[in-house]
Structure 1
Amino acid sequence: MTWSEIAPLLWEGAQETLYMLGVSTALTAIGGLLVGVLLVLTDRDGLLPAWPLHVVLGLIVNIGRSLPFIILLVAIIPFTRALVGTTIGTEAAIVPLTVGAIPFFARMVETALREVDRSVVAAATAMGASRREIVVKVLLREARPGLVSGLTITVVALVGYSAMAGVVGGGGLGDLAIRYGYQRFEDEVMLATVAVLILFVQLVQVLGDLIARRLSHR
């Protein structure tokens, strides 16, 4: 294939990949943040101790992180079909992307929150801050650099996940690489797709590192 034929395919695949990444990242950030905060709050020494709930949440997160994405992709096909009405295309790919990434990011959130200096939390408690204020104004605020770094790592993982979604017709650059680069033996398409994916990862990593440094006050 010539570059004039490859370029439109790359542009369309890149747009689909960016759409999948944008939506799944937003959903993952919300879901992972909620689960991660709950993991910290419900621990034995948390602000809302609930050990049975903590154990159940931890088990669900561990199971989610243990499944290879390609297996998860196939395993939740009935759920994906029930949710979006199809198992093919970018809309369908967003479901397993989000389901696979939320447990991953939740652990990142938990780790970032546990690194917050306990003395800061104790001082806020002594000043009469409510649980909500401690979570929002102390824990989440102090953990911002770690949260951004965790989300950056998660988005990089999502880039790889989105490429794997192409195996089952998920659209995007992965689908382009499978249909043209692999099935039609178009090495130029495969190399171009890999180059664009590498560019995506580099941009995400540089941007994430920059934001994390700006937020850090150490």
Structure 2
Amino acid sequence: MSNDLIGLLLTGTKETLYMVFISSIIAFLLGVPIGVLLVVSDKGGIFPLLKVNKIVGFIINVIRSMPEMILVIILLPLAKLIVGTTLGANAAIISISIGSAPFLARIIENSLKEVEFGKIEAAESMGAAPLEIIKKVLLPEALPSIVRGITIAIIGIIGFTAIAGAIGAGGLGSLAIRFGYQRFRTDVLIGTVVILVVIVQSIQLIGDFIARSINRKRFKFE
């Protein structure tokens, strides 16, 4: 493996990991509260707000219905407003975060809806406030499923960074397109694919391990 190939792959990997890490944090901070809101505000929820639920659900569905490439392009003006440019990793993070947050919100919603309703009723019968139910019942009970969902979302974000690379975001996606495809460098293309597979497999293994650990601890204390 030549030094220039190693240098290209190292740079692309660093940029991809940077985008994935920051985008995942922002998507988590946005997606989790929205997912919780969708559950508690739904019909039969602990704090029904049907109009709010429908509006938030509609916005999420609109964003999720857009192809990722189109969504990245649409959000470029917002990226320029926030970071001052439409190029590079920082600009891509804005688009990736906003594009991934609705997907994560739906995952969180589905995970929370798996919690047995009897446990929520028991907490309500003991006089627990909605916020207490969320913190002490919903989130802890759904935690293994949430961890697995977040793992899926992070892997999706990795794919998102590859797409954003097509419009100058940098990272392994940009490297595969600019050097691997456009310059017919098969070594670069294969190298980026191998690294992406390793990253995805590592994240999946870590997510599964954490989810299993939480399950074991919960069963131990039950």
- Shared topology, TM-score over 0.5? yes
**What's the CA shift string for 1:31-67, capped at 9, x where partnerless?**
1101000001111211111111100011011111111
State the 1:214 CA deviation: 1.1
Is residue 148 of structure 2 the alignment partner of residue 139 of structure 1? no
Is residue 38 of structure 2 the alignment partner of residue 39 of structure 1? yes
State the 1:80 CA deviation: 1.3
State the 1:75 CA deviation: 1.3
Query: Identity over aligned residues, as a percent?
Result: 42
1:56-95 matches, within 5 Å, as 56-95=55-94
For 1:93 and 1:13, how far apart are their aligned partners in 2? 14
TM-score by length of 1: 0.97
For 2:195 and 2:143, how far apart are their aligned partners in 1? 29
Give the aligned residue type for 1:133. Answer: E
Give the aligned residue type for 2:180. Answer: G
The residue that corresponds to 1:115 in the other structure is 114
State the 1:85 CA deviation: 0.7
Segments of 5+ residues of structure 2 without an aligned counterpart are none
For 2:91 and 2:76, how far apart are their aligned partners in 1? 9
State the 1:17 CA deviation: 0.6
Is residue 29 of structure 2 the alignment partner of residue 30 of structure 1? yes
Runs of 4 or more consecutive aligned structure 1 residues displaced over 4 Å after TM superposition = none
The residue that corresponds to 2:169 in the other structure is 170
For 2:66 and 2:153, how far apart are their aligned partners in 1? 16
SS at match of 1:91: helix
TM-score by length of 2: 0.95
Is residue 17 of structure 2 the alignment partner of residue 5 of structure 1? no
Give the aligned residue type for 2:127. Answer: G
Give the aligned residue type for 1:154. Answer: A
For 2:164 and 2:188, how far apart are their aligned partners in 1? 17
State the 1:81 CA deviation: 0.9
For 2:18 and 2:185, how far apart are their aligned partners in 1? 25
State the 1:184 CA deviation: 1.0
Segments of 5+ residues of structure 1 without an aligned counterpart are none
State the 1:30 CA deviation: 1.2
State the 1:147 CA deviation: 0.5
Aligned-residue CA RMSD (Å): 1.0
For 1:178 and 1:23, how far apart are their aligned partners in 2? 23
**What's the CA shift string for 1:58-97, capped at 9, x where partnerless?**
1011111111110101111111111111010000010111
Give the aligned residue type for 1:199. Answer: V
State the 1:125 CA deviation: 1.2
For 2:49 and 2:124, how far apart are their aligned partners in 1? 19
State the 1:3 CA deviation: 2.3
Corresponding pairs, count: 217
The residue that corresponds to 2:152 in the other structure is 153
